[in-house]
């Protein structure tokens, strides 16, 4: 079994949000839960942290809450991919 680090979990949440945001309207919580493989309470805590740190943008339409990757979030993902490569070369994981 491989345990994910906090950075990897954040990267998974951000890439799931980015990947499944088809019409630039945001990604729903259920999709992120499935794609990032997290429980609902844990994801909600992470999403709230990511929104407050400016990596995600929250849009609420009626009862539906969706999440979009902000510019800061996109930049984080790009940097994550670069440093992931760097760490892998050393045989390490971020």
Residues at the site binding another protein, with contacts judged by CB under 8 A: 1-5, 7, 76, 79-80, 82-83, 85-94
Kindly report the number of other CB atoms within 10 A of residue 64's CB atom. Answer: 11
CB of 42 vs another protein, minimal distance in Å: 17
CB of 47 vs another protein, minimal distance in Å: 18
CB of 75 vs another protein, minimal distance in Å: 8
By C-beta, is 34 or 93 nearer to another protein? 93
Terminal CA-CA length for the chain: 17
By C-beta, is 60 or 92 nearer to another protein? 92
By C-beta, is 32 or 55 nearer to another protein? 55
Kindly report the number of other CB atoms within 10 A of residue 36's CB atom. Answer: 20
CB of 66 vs another protein, minimal distance in Å: 25
Q: How far is CA 80 from the centre of its chain?
A: 11
Q: Which long-range contacts (CB under 8 A, 24 or more apart) does 57-65 make?
A: 57/26, 59/25, 59/26, 64/28, 65/28, 65/29
């Amino acid at each position: 079994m491989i345990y994910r680090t906090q950075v990897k979990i954040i990267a998974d949440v951000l890439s799931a949000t980015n990947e499944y945001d088809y019409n630039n309207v945001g990604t729903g919580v259920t999709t992120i839960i499935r794609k990032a493989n997290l429980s609902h309470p844990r994801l909600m805590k992470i999403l709230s942290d990511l929104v407050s740190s400016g990596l995600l943008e929250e849009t609420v339409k009626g009862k539906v809450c969706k999440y979009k990757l902000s510019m800061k979030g996109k930049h984080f993902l790009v940097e994550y991919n670069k440093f992931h490569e760097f760490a892998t070369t050393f045989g390490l994981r971020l």
